[in-house]
Amino acid sequence: MRLRALPLMGALAACAPAEPPPRPPLKLDCALGYEALSAAIVAEPGMKPAVKERGEPFRYFNAEGGQSSFMITEPGAPGHPAILKQQVTPAGVTNSGCAYGDEKGYAELVAYLEALARARAK
Q: Whole-prediction pTM value?
A: 0.77
Query: Which of the 8 DSSP states describes residue 46?
Result: T
The pLDDT score that the predictor gives to residue 26 is 80
pLDDT level of residue 122 (50, 70, 90 thresholds): confident
Is residue 113's pLDDT more than 80?
Answer: yes
2-53 pLDDT per residue, tens: 555 555 555 555 556 677 666 666 889 999 999 999 999 999 998 999 998 8
φ/ψ of residue 14, rounded to 5 = -70, -25
- Mean pLDDT to the nearest integer, 53-62: 92
pLDDT of residue 66: 81
pLDDT higher at 25 or 57 = 57
For residue 64, what pLDDT is reported?
A: 85
pLDDT on residue 83: 97
